[in-house]
Chain A
Amino acid sequence: MRAEQRVIDVPAQPGAAKPDPVLVIDSVTRSFGGLRAVDVEHLEFQRGWITGLIGPNGAGKTTLFNLITGFDRPSTGQWTFNGMPLSRLAPHQVARRGVVRTFQLTKALAKLTVLDNMRLAAPRQTGERFFGALLSSWGRQEQAITEKAMELLTRFRLDAKAGDLAGCLSGGQRKLLEMARALMMDPTVVMLDEPMAGVNPALTESLLQHVKSLREDGMTVVFVEHDMDVIRDISDWVVVMAQGRVIAEGRPGTLSSNKAVVDAYLGAHHDQALEFDAEGNPVGSTAKLAAEIHSELEVAIERGKGLSA
């Protein structure tokens, strides 16, 4: 409950400082041609919290994830993990330092068994080096890794599937496997990219419980989701992105009344009644709105031109 206590002290505004941030992001941008997919001035992730990163499609959530974990290179900016610079590191270096991610489209290794998927992720294996595999006796370490893997599989209720090929698992089970595999690395920060996507509703609840249990084990969880309802229950803090920017931050309950958030999801004019004359042409404020939308479209098309040039 200490976590929740501290939540109240943090002001609900974009870029708010947290008491003990584990990840700090500064002026990070990522442009694809003329499109600025990510443009984050300052963002902190509090240690030990579950932070939900939400926003409509194309808000730049996954791109930000890719940047933080080294799978993409930023146009500008840097970020630190526990005070150490993390930018410019390769993905495997980021993972070894303790920031471990999962993927939106699950990357269970289909032709490896579930158990091998788990054992693969264990860090610092002597048998993983070319000469280590031939010359050292890695059997004992393998045994310890297998024990740890089985423990985690039991926790995620996959122990019965340990010998099966991962390709035979259902979508939800693959999500669980990917999460369990990430835990093999004893991460400090777990970054889950849409852990609920493509999972049947019956499994969603159990997945959420597993995410919560990560926090209880002292890990920091950051996850991407575009469905606001899903994250309300489990997140301590929510960061809302739209068009590459952080537009709001705050406790999950407070954001549904935030105007910027509602606008981002539903459009700025969602609650306005539309008026038309007898011929079906817009009149009054509706006519103004139609003109606005029209000019916005023109701007967008012009930008599009700029993109391809």
Chain B
Amino acid sequence: MIDISTLLTNGVAAAVGPSTIFFALLAIGLNIQFGYAGLLNFGQIGFALVGAYGMGIAVVHFGLPLWSGVLVGLVAGVVLALLLGIPTLRLRADYLAIVTIAAAEILRLITRSTSMTNFSGGTQGLTGYGQAFRQPSPFDNGRFYDFFGVRFLGQDLWSVCVGWSVVGLSLILVFLLVRSPWGRVLKAIREDEDAARAVGKNVFVYKMQALVLGGVFGAVGGIIFALTTQSLTPDFYSPPQTFFAYAALIIGGAARVFGPVIGSMIFWFVLSITDNFLRQATAGSNPLISFIDNQDVGAIRFILVGVGLALLMVFRPQGIFGKRSEVLLDAR
């Protein structure tokens, strides 16, 4: 009745697919900000938006080549981080949280407003910026490639390959940074800002660097995903996306280099499995589970993921990779 092999292959495809890559990159940024520096950025999706739209608008409206469009997207991420950080990073941590979530919503509403239709595409979205991305692809765009039952369309396979390379490079960068004295100062600031000041560290500058770096990872995620989908719609960049990235970070373990990536893989694997299971179990004339309507599956899988997260927090609060001894210190 339940087709286990379809569940698994779909799950694996989700765990290595474009969504996982997107949320892994967002979570890598959040890991720098929240995991290492203790900054609460609740508007990471806004950084993805300015990255993606920065690139899209630069290519579509200003006729720039794709590579310089990508550069524009990255610079947009830096600028957004500076704009949000300068007024808030001298204040208590909650101010950054409020400002970032508000800014992300403002950005989404501006991009989708009808007055911007000629520029950002409004609710109709933006396309036609990414053809150059698929030109160097060695794969046949229209063909399906099969890996032990996990199937990818050629054009998606290229995106996934590029995406994972970018994730890999990002992890190397994070690894080099957090094992350096720079990373040590970040952790010190997370623990106690005043202690860091008392030993001569310019806390504001470090927080700003962390915010900018994390924001750039967000922008990179937005760019990669936009190149995969080849179209931009403003409502994709809604606030819950930031919290999915936080969920991925916490599942994997904050302040661990691989935490956000593993967390993102698990998040999408579990989401895909529960989704497929419930759909199969509620489909047909004589469903296995009769009290759930097939229409409700999309919402119910998130409930299950929420329950799973709650259980994780109870039994393994440090996440998959976290150090239990560090979490226990908080309880003292």
Chain A residues 168 to 193 lying within 8 A of chain B, measured CB to CB, are 168, 181-182, 184-185
Chain A residues 153 to 209 lying within 8 A of chain B, measured CB to CB, are 165, 167-168, 181-182, 184-185
Contact with B along A94-127 (1 / 0, CB 8 A): 0110001111000111111000100111010101
Cβ contact of A92, chosen from B173, B181, B182, B200, cutoff 8 A: B200
Across-interface contacts of A133 in B (CB, < 8 A): 176-177, 180-183
Contact yes or no, B329 A167, CB < 8 A: yes
Taking CB as reference atom, which chain A residue is nearest B326? Answer: A111
Contact yes or no, B198 A112, CB < 8 A: no
In the complex, what's the smallest C-beta–C-beta distance from A244 to chain B, in angstroms?
Answer: 23
> For B183, B191, B199, B201, which residue has the most chain A Cβ atoms within 10 angstroms?
B199
In the complex, what's the smallest C-beta–C-beta distance from B162 to chain A, in angstroms?
Answer: 23
Contact yes or no, B200 A107, CB < 8 A: no
Across-interface contacts of A95 in B (CB, < 8 A): 197-200
Contact with A along B194-226 (1 / 0, CB 8 A): 111111111100000100010000000000000
Q: A111-B329, A133-B176 are in contact. Are A100 and B185 (CB under 8 A)?
A: no
Contact yes or no, A112 B199, CB < 8 A: no
Task: State A90–B201 Cα separation when bound (angstroms).
Answer: 10
Across chains A and B, the number of contacting residue pairs, with CB separation under 8 Å, is 104
Check if B325 is an interface residue, CB within 8 A of chain A. yes
Task: State A101–B195 Cα separation when bound (angstroms).
Answer: 9
In the complex, what's the smallest C-beta–C-beta distance from A173 to chain B, in angstroms?
Answer: 15
In the complex, what's the smallest C-beta–C-beta distance from B51 to chain A, in angstroms?
Answer: 20
Cβ contact of A71, chosen from B183, B194, B200, cutoff 8 A: B194
In the complex, what's the smallest C-beta–C-beta distance from A200 to chain B, in angstroms?
Answer: 18
Task: State A132–B206 Cα separation when bound (angstroms).
Answer: 13
Across-interface contacts of B202 in A (CB, < 8 A): 90, 92
Chain B residues 294 to 332 lying within 8 A of chain A, measured CB to CB, are 325-326, 329, 332
Contact yes or no, B199 A120, CB < 8 A: yes
Across-interface contacts of B185 in A (CB, < 8 A): 120, 128
In the complex, what's the smallest C-beta–C-beta distance from B211 to chain A, in angstroms?
Answer: 12
Task: Count chain A residues whose beta carbon lies closer than 8 angstroms to a beta carbon of B.
Answer: 40
Main secondary structure of the interface of B (DSSP, over half): helix
Task: State A100–B326 Cα separation when bound (angstroms).
Answer: 28
Task: Count chain B residues whose beta carbon lies closer than 8 angstroms to a beta carbon of A.
Answer: 30
Across-interface contacts of A32 in B (CB, < 8 A): none
Contact yes or no, B187 A111, CB < 8 A: yes
Taking CB as reference atom, which chain A residue is nearest B182? Answer: A133
In the complex, what's the smallest C-beta–C-beta distance from B207 to chain A, in angstroms?
Answer: 12
Chain B residues 42 to 64 lying within 8 A of chain A, measured CB to CB, are none
In the complex, what's the smallest C-beta–C-beta distance from B215 to chain A, in angstroms?
Answer: 14
Contact yes or no, B199 A128, CB < 8 A: no
Task: State A70–B185 Cα separation when bound (angstroms).
Answer: 20
Contact yes or no, B187 A92, CB < 8 A: no
Contact yes or no, B198 A96, CB < 8 A: no
Q: A92-B202, A134-B176, A165-B325 are in contact. Are A107 and B181 (CB under 8 A)?
A: no
Q: A100-B199, A130-B209 are in contact. Are A109 and B325 (CB under 8 A)?
A: no
Across-interface contacts of A165 in B (CB, < 8 A): 325-326, 329
Contact yes or no, A112 B182, CB < 8 A: no
Check if B192 is an interface residue, CB within 8 A of chain A. yes
Check if A265 is an interface residue, CB within 8 A of chain B. no
Contact yes or no, A103 B187, CB < 8 A: no
Check if B184 is an interface residue, CB within 8 A of chain A. yes
Task: State A142–B310 Cα separation when bound (angstroms).
Answer: 41
Across-interface contacts of B201 in A (CB, < 8 A): 92, 120, 128
Across-interface contacts of A110 in B (CB, < 8 A): 191, 329
Task: State A96–B188 Cα separation when bound (angstroms).
Answer: 17
Q: A109-B187, A111-B326 are in contact. Are A185 and B200 (CB under 8 A)?
A: yes
Task: State A178–B2 Cα separation when bound (angstroms).
Answer: 61
Chain B residues 153 to 181 lying within 8 A of chain A, measured CB to CB, are 173, 176-177, 180-181
Contact with B along A60-103 (1 / 0, CB 8 A): 00000000011100000000000000000011100110001111
Sample 20 A-B pairs with CB under 8 A, ordered by A number. Answer: A69-B198, A70-B197, A71-B194, A92-B196, A92-B202, A95-B199, A100-B198, A101-B198, A107-B192, A107-B195, A108-B195, A112-B191, A120-B181, A120-B201, A121-B200, A125-B181, A128-B201, A130-B182, A133-B177, A133-B180
- Nearest 4 CB-CB pairings of A with B: A133-B180, A107-B195, A127-B181, A133-B182
A residues touching B (Cβ–Cβ < 8 Å)? 69-71, 90-92, 95-96, 100-103, 107-112, 116, 119-121, 123, 125, 127-130, 132-134, 138, 142, 165, 167-168, 181-182, 184-185
B residues touching A (Cβ–Cβ < 8 Å)? 173, 176-177, 180-185, 187-188, 190-192, 194-203, 209, 213, 325-326, 329, 332
